[in-house]
């Protein structure tokens, strides 16, 4: 069946890069694009006229966490002052022998909510770092999103035996068992994922994985032919620990152990030795990263919440590093994340010409596809997968449109895509995810979150409540005190 998707503007790929096509059409048959142009010369079985929409390749969201939903959403936003304001320490640090909040969630409900949120905002390929299981595979097939995923594993966990003191508890055998589970998940995804799910290896972080575990990971990745994504140089807690422990920055340590390479994606990679908050001599990290061919998953919004920024998106690109974009935790709005990437880069560089819209869109399409080793994603061209997203330009918030790409990044960000196709299947229509009752799903997620928040003192290292971890924006008013009557005009 030949289907055409028409739009006021189409971001087409000409073999070298994206080009803007006015009043274009994208034609696909099955799951493959067969034609992109100004008008189709043949007969089509179906035509979807999106009207005043910008039609783009579906975005590749290179770094997400399904396990941060729904219980950890707000708790994750509030960092720990005793860990350099590191947000993930609020949800991963626990008392010895206790399961933290991410391990207590309903995996089926969390996976469904998370993937629906991603695809609703135009992410047609989602890379989940550290969550794997039948529930995730089932949700990807149900919603119809392309997924890369694998369970997280590590040789150490963060524990708080003494309140206020975060320590590492090592268990290398547990890390090895986790790697075996990840390899089994990759095989299961290939078998049960309906062609949409691909396994990957997700060792947790530079500071929680030992040399033997990482060496075994890279051997397994080569044997399986899969990608590796690991958190590295993601926070000051990790950076200072690695320098104390090894006398090397996280980037230098991973490089010395053969982890960096074209198969590897680094989550965040902010604290390199040129970063103003990273106290390390040498200024060689960026060159090592570029020469290795490793990729960087840039998630600017999550960093901005911590008061941190990549120094900078443009600087990494100029050095030859392939930078892709991910939404990390919440919200999972990839277009809004691109706007953050653009604006934070301008602030860091002190240059309004930095962080151009074309560069952030390239990062979320071609750059992210390259990180996954895919030349059939992130582009609208014959032979590419039929992953398509369309965004309305006829919105009051957008206003008059001179350049639809700039309007998308600067003015249309923060809303859902109008229409989304993944692998030729229409999964979002008029802003709604097919087959998902958002009101019901939101209610289920709210009830689950309330149950998990009530349980926080049982596992949190210092015994804090959810409200103590993430205080309300304003003091709660339990009771309105009577106020003396005041005559009008008496004051």
Instruction: Write b or e for each residue in 338-350: b if 16 or more Cβ atoms lie within 10 A of its Cβ, otherwise e.
Output: bbbbbbbbbebbe
205 and 234 in a single domain? The answer is: yes
Domain range for 329: 59-377
How many folded domains does the chain comprise?
2
Q: At what angle do helices 107-120 and 134-143 cross, to 10 degrees?
A: 40
101 and 16 in a single domain? The answer is: no
DSSP H stretches of helix in 2-92: 73-77, 89-92
pTM value? 0.94
101 and 65 in a single domain? The answer is: yes
CATH of the domain at 42: 2.30.40.10
pLDDT band at 329 (very low <50, low <70, confident <90, very high): confident
* Average pLDDT of span 412-417: 85
155 and 33 in a single domain? The answer is: no
Q: Is pLDDT above 80 for 413?
A: no
Model confidence over 367-408: pLDDT tens digits? 999 999 999 999 999 999 999 999 999 998 899 999 999 999
64 and 27 in a single domain? The answer is: no
| C-alpha–C-alpha distance, residues 193 and 181, integer Å | 17
Query: 73: buried, middle or exposed (CB in 10 Å: 19+, 13-18, 0-12)?
Result: middle
**Closest C-alpha to 23, from 63, 51, 48:** 51
> In this predicted structure, what is the pLDDT of residue 330?
85
Q: Would you say 216 and 176 are in contact if contact means Cβ atoms under 8 Å apart?
A: yes
Q: What is the CA radius of gyration of the chain?
A: 23
Specify the DSSP element, H or E, that contains 232: strand 228-232
310 and 271 in a single domain? The answer is: yes
CA dihedral 379, 383, 389, 393 (to 10 degrees): 70
Residue 347 included in any domain: yes
| C-alpha–C-alpha distance, residues 480 and 463, integer Å | 30
Listed residues 436, 451, 477: the one ending a domain? 436
120 and 184 in a single domain? The answer is: yes
298 and 403 in a single domain? The answer is: no
What distance separates the 2 farthest-apart alpha carbons in the chain? 83
Model confidence over 46-102: pLDDT tens digits? 999 999 999 999 999 999 998 655 566 656 667 777 787 787 777 777 888 787 776
């Amino acid at each position: 069946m030949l289907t055409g998707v028409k739009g006021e503007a189409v971001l087409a790929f000409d073999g070298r890069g994206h080009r803007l096509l006015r009043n274009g059409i994208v034609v696909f048959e099955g799951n493959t694009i067969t034609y992109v142009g100004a008008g189709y010369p043949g007969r089509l079985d179906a035509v979807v006229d999106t009207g005043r929409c910008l039609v783009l390749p579906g975005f590749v969201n290179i770094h997400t966490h399904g396990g941060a939903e729904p219980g950890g959403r707000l708790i994750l936003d509030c960092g720990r002052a005793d860990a350099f304001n590191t947000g993930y320490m609020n949800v991963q640090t626990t008392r010895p022998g206790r399961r933290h909040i991410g391990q207590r969630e309903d995996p089926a409900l969390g996976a469904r909510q998370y993937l629906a949120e991603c695809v609703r905002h135009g992410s047609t390929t989602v890379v989940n770092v550290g969550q794997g299981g039948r529930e995730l595979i089932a949700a990807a097939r149900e919603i119809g999103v392309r997924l890369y995923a694998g369970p997280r594993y590590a040789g150490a966990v963060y524990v708080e035996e003494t309140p206020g003191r975060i320590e590492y508890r090592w268990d290398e055998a547990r890390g090895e068992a986790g790697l075996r589970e990840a390899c089994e998940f990759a095989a299961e995804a290939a078998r049960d994922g309906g062609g949409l799910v691909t396994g990957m290896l997700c060792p947790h972080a530079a500071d929680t994985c030992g040399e033997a575990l990482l060496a075994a990971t890279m051997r397994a990745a080569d044997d399986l032919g899969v990608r590796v994504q690991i958190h590295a140089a993601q926070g000051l807690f990790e950076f200072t620990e690695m320098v104390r422990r090894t006398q090397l920055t996280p980037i230098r340590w991973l490089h010395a152990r053969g982890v960096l390479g074209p198969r590897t994606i680094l989550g965040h990679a902010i604290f390199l030795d040129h970063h103003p908050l990273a106290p390390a001599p040498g200024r060689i990290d960026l060159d090592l990263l570029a020469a290795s061919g490793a990729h960087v998953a840039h998630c600017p919004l999550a960093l901005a919440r911590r008061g941190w920024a990549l120094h900078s998106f443009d600087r990494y690109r100029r050095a030859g590093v392939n930078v892709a974009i991910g939404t990390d935790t919440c919200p999972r709005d990839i277009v809004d994340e691109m706007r953050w990437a653009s604006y934070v880069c301008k602030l860091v560089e002190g240059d309004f010409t930095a962080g151009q819209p074309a560069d952030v869109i390239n990062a979320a399409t071609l750059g992210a596809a390259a990180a996954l080793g895919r030349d059939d994603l992130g582009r609208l061209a014959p032979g590419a997968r039929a992953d398509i997203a369309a965004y309305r330009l006829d919105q009051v918030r957008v206003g008059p449109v001179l350049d639809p790409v700039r309007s998308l990044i600067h003015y249309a960000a923060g809303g859902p895509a109008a229409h989304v196709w993944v692998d030729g299947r229409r999964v979002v229509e008029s802003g709604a995810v097919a087959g998902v009752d958002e009101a019901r799903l939101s209610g289920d997620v709210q009830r689950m979150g309330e149950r998990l928040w009530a349980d926080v003192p049982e596992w949190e290292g210092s015994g804090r409540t959810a409200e103590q971890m993430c205080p309300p924006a304003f003091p709660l008013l339990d009771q309105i005190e009577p106020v003396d009557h005041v005559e009008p005009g008496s004051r």
